[in-house]
Structure 1
Amino acid sequence: MALEAALALLALAFALAARPWRLLGSRKPLAHEAHGAPATLWTPLLATLVLLPWAWALPTLHRMPLQLQWSGACLVLLMLGWPLAVPALLAVGTIAALISPSLGWGDALGLAVWQGIVPATLALLVGVLLRRLAGARALTGVRIFIYVLGRGFLGTALCVFVAGSLSQWAGHVLPGVGEQLSLVARWLMAWGDGMVTGMLCAVFVAFKPGWLATWSDQLYLPKP
């Protein structure tokens, strides 16, 4: 628990230093939005706080041979950006502990770190790498492909699996599953996370780009 507490406090300190609350009030209207309506992150933030705690608490609310876990942290990272995603994910862990009577505060902290902060941080690093690939020489179609497939589908699956493997190394094993089989289960569950995140990312890029703090028209849809 000491490791999780240290990681959470370190990430929260860096996130608050970036003053993430500014993202909630400084979103400018996008050129392609009807009537110049301002893009706001309040909707994805509230959706995260309402829906994601139930997904995190679900494995402790019922009994199954394999506790299916869904992170959602990479999607939160794409929608809110890292500075705002970190306190939001910590809040999700707190709400999950309040929802499930069998989920202790220590377990909730572990969820917030290994299912939240760690995959979101890895997704941030993947995003930095892919932004370099979407440089000035890349075609517009290729840039969108890099964002949706790289950050939404493949990047999410990779980040969630690596975070799950690190959590297993730290002693958080899946109940009733052997150590080697746990890695296989985490790999399969990571692809479920990647599919959901990738599909929602594609939908938001097409219809609600204002809900994606990591999306930039100037970078991914440059004017000729």
Structure 2
Amino acid sequence: MVLELALTVLAVAAALAVRPWRMLRGPLLSPTLAALAVLPWLWLLPQKLPAGMAVQFSGASLLVLMLGWPLAVPVLLGVAALVWLLGQAPLQAVLSQWVWVGLVPATLALAIGWALRRWLPPNVFIYTLGRGFLGTAVALFASGALYEGIHHLMGGVTLHEALVARWLMAWGDAFLTGLVAAVFVAFAPQWLATWSDERYLRPPPKA
């Protein structure tokens, strides 16, 4: 819990330092409110399922694409607060969920997005497939693997099959994120803070 509290304080302080609420003055207010209305119920799903069926949808990578990391972090924290208020899980469990389902995947998605922008050409398929689909799968699986590894080192019971489950759940998140990102690129690009028509749709330079 100490590690998770430290990550929370560090990430929230870094996000708020750039005053992300300024982005709410534009078109990002609608997706922000939609995330706060919908995502808590998806995060509450593991509490409603039978014991042993810890199916979890993150949505963190999609929020990074839509809102950018600085705004996605406090929104995800708000989602976790609503999960704590509406659900029956103790605060420690909700804090762990916020860190490993929200914060860490969002931060990894940011790093993957930076790497793709740095080393691959600006292309709409790089954005939708790279950041939306494959990047989400990698971020979610890596976060789940870190969680399993850390809890194993701290004395928790970890089965080898847990990584397989993490891998499969990551692809479910990746499919939905890639699909929504592609739809928004086509019909509502103003809801994607990380999208730029000038960057991704400009014609290639002439030889």
| TM-score (norm. length: structure 2) | 0.92
Q: Aligned residue for 1:35?
A: none
Is 1:217 matched up with 2:197? yes
Matches within 5 A, 1:168-187: 168-171=148-151, 179-187=159-167
Which is worse superposed, 204-213 or 55-64?
55-64
- How far does the alpha carbon of each residue in 1:156-208 deviate from its partner, in whole angstroms, 9 at most, with x for none? 00000000111112228xxxx95100000000000000000000000000000
Q: Aligned residue for 2:118?
A: 132
- How far does the alpha carbon of each residue in 1:42-100 deviate from its partner, in whole angstroms, 9 at most, with x for none? 11111111111111111112314321111110001111100000001111111011111
| TM-score (norm. length: structure 1) | 0.85
Distance 1:89 1:146 in 2: 25
Deviation of the 1:223 alpha carbon: 5.3
CA contact (8 A) 1:156 1:194 kept: yes
Unaligned runs of 5+ in 1: 28-39
Q: Aligned residue for 1:145?
A: 125
Which is worse superposed, 211-220 or 63-72?
63-72
Q: Aligned residue for 1:208?
A: 188
Distance 2:24 2:52 in 1: 41
Q: Aligned residue for 1:22?
A: 22
Deviation of the 1:117 alpha carbon: 0.7
Matches within 5 A, 1:37-48: 40-48=27-35
Q: Aligned residue for 1:80?
A: 67
Which is worse superposed, 58-67 or 86-95?
58-67
Deviation of the 1:134 alpha carbon: 4.4
Distance 2:84 2:139 in 1: 24
Q: Aligned residue for 1:33?
A: none
CA contact (8 A) 2:62 2:181 kept: yes
Q: Aligned residue for 2:76?
A: 89
Deviation of the 1:133 alpha carbon: 3.5
Q: Aligned residue for 1:56?
A: 43
Structure 1 residue runs of 4+, over 4 Å off?
none
Letter in 1 for 2:188: K
CA contact (8 A) 1:156 1:197 kept: yes
Distance 1:134 1:78 in 2: 17
CA contact (8 A) 2:59 2:177 kept: yes
Letter in 1 for 2:8: A
Query: Percent of aligned pairs with the same residue?
Result: 54
The 1:223/1:22 distance shift into structure 2, 3 A limit, reads farther
Q: Aligned residue for 1:7?
A: 7
Distance 2:188 2:84 in 1: 31
Deviation of the 1:24 alpha carbon: 1.2
CA contact (8 A) 1:82 1:120 kept: yes
CA contact (8 A) 1:72 1:197 kept: yes
Aligned residues: 200
Letter in 2 for 1:180: H
